[in-house]
Amino acid sequence: MRQLDVKCLWAVPLGLVLGMAASVPAAAGTVVDAINSRSEIRCGVSQGTPGFSAPDSAGNWKGLDVEICEALAVAMFNDKSKVDWISLQFSQVFPALNSGDIDLINRSILKTVGRDVDMGLEYPGVTYFSGQTFMVPKALNVTKPQQLNGATICVLGGTGTQATLNDYFREKGFTYTPAVFEDQDLMYQAYEQGRCDAVTTEPPILASRRSVFQAPGDHLIMEELISKEIVGPIVKHGDDEWRDLVKVVLWGLVALEEEGITQANAAELRKTATKPEVRRMLGLEGELGKGIGLRTGWLADVAEKVGNYGEIYDRNVGPNTPLGLKRGLNALWKDGGLMISPPFR
């Protein structure tokens, strides 16, 4: 696939793209081979970010990022329990991916040109669109980033978040004192203890951490963003089969929502669907996914066992959760957002 003229890829139907994967022999020792051999996906997650990836009181991992990995497990094994959760500090995730200790990174790490081009990483798709802003104590009486000139700001070291923070203050001609941490738990503890005036990252992550503060209502997340951000799973560059599998599952979650296929109605639609695209998605016609080793009906299984993208979003980070996040940019394209899937044909 890498030898195709990328200027023409937009015109290639999804079914042909998946079929082309079958015509290119997979290299020995691919990630998919390793996953199939152990019957388990090694998913690199955060150290604990409520709403995205965090263990509950029983030690079971929950969250939006968690359910994306579970959807991959259902697509491959029809069993969402076939995931090994590996919790890592930010500084550990890239070495773990490169060494093969994890199969993918699925935590809030921003996509940048440098990471995509220079670090040997691939972002197969998007799990949410966001930006970067600040959380401050309401007692500080500031509501805009411009009011943080001279402030002490907590930030996770060596991250794109730190680089964006530096760029913003440099562009504005402002000064600030960085309080740099390698461990996100220690960073938020320091912020809550008043050792810095603000903490910075994407609003969903700030909302997640605020939800477990002793006094969540005492803290304000600024509405104004200082950047645009794209977040999604990360895999190693060069393994087309694994990249394509992750990409197609992400497309599938969005396509399910586009077509109104939910956990509640998927089983019935497997019997009654008449729309050609829905029939292909549910495995009633064609063999979409065969070229990357997926069985007929894999997406119908994902719908029944995990749900569509909107269901995943709403039950983990949506308006009726402690995070209370509106869909915004993460709504479907037809609802004014950016989430879209190519046709399943």
Per-residue pLDDT of 246-267, as tens digits, reads 999 999 999 999 999 999 999 9
Q: Which residue has the higher pLDDT, 268 or 158?
A: 268
pLDDT of 29:
61
Q: Is the pLDDT of residue 278 over 50?
A: yes
**25-34, 307-316, 336-345: lowest mean pLDDT where?**
25-34
Cα(56)–Cα(163) distance, integer angstroms: 32
Q: Where are the domains of the chain?
A: 6-129+231-335, 132-227
Residue with tokens 């691939």: 122
pLDDT of 288:
87
Alpha helices in the chain (DSSP H): 14-23, 31-38, 64-77, 90-99, 113-118, 160-172, 184-192, 203-210, 240-258, 266-272, 276-281, 298-305, 309-316
Please report which confidence band the pLDDT of residue 205 belongs to, taking 50, 70 and 90 as the band edges: confident
- Residue 45 sits at φ, ψ, to 5 deg, of -120, 180
- Return the closest-CA partner of residue 34 out of 90, 102, 109, 80: 102
Cα(234)–Cα(120) distance, integer angstroms: 10
Q: Which residue has the higher pLDDT, 312 or 326?
A: 312
Hey, is 231 helix, strand or coil? strand
In CATH, 132-227 is 3.40.190.10: yes
Concatenated DSSP letters of 76-101: HHS-TT-EEEEE--HHHHHHHHHHTS
Looking at every residue in the chain, the average pLDDT score rounds to 89
Structure tokens at 161: 């978040």
In this structure, the chain runs to a length of 345
pLDDT of 25:
36
Q: Which amino acid is at 157?
A: G
Q: Are 134 and 199 in contact (CB under 8 A)?
A: yes
Q: Are 42 and 101 in contact (CB under 8 A)?
A: yes
pTM of the model: 0.81
Count of other CB atoms within 10 angstroms of residue 91: 13
Cα(202)–Cα(182) distance, integer angstroms: 17
Q: Is the pLDDT of residue 16 over 80?
A: no
Cα(47)–Cα(53) distance, integer angstroms: 8
CATH number for the domain whose boundaries are 6-129+231-335 = 3.40.190.10
Cα(15)–Cα(77) distance, integer angstroms: 21
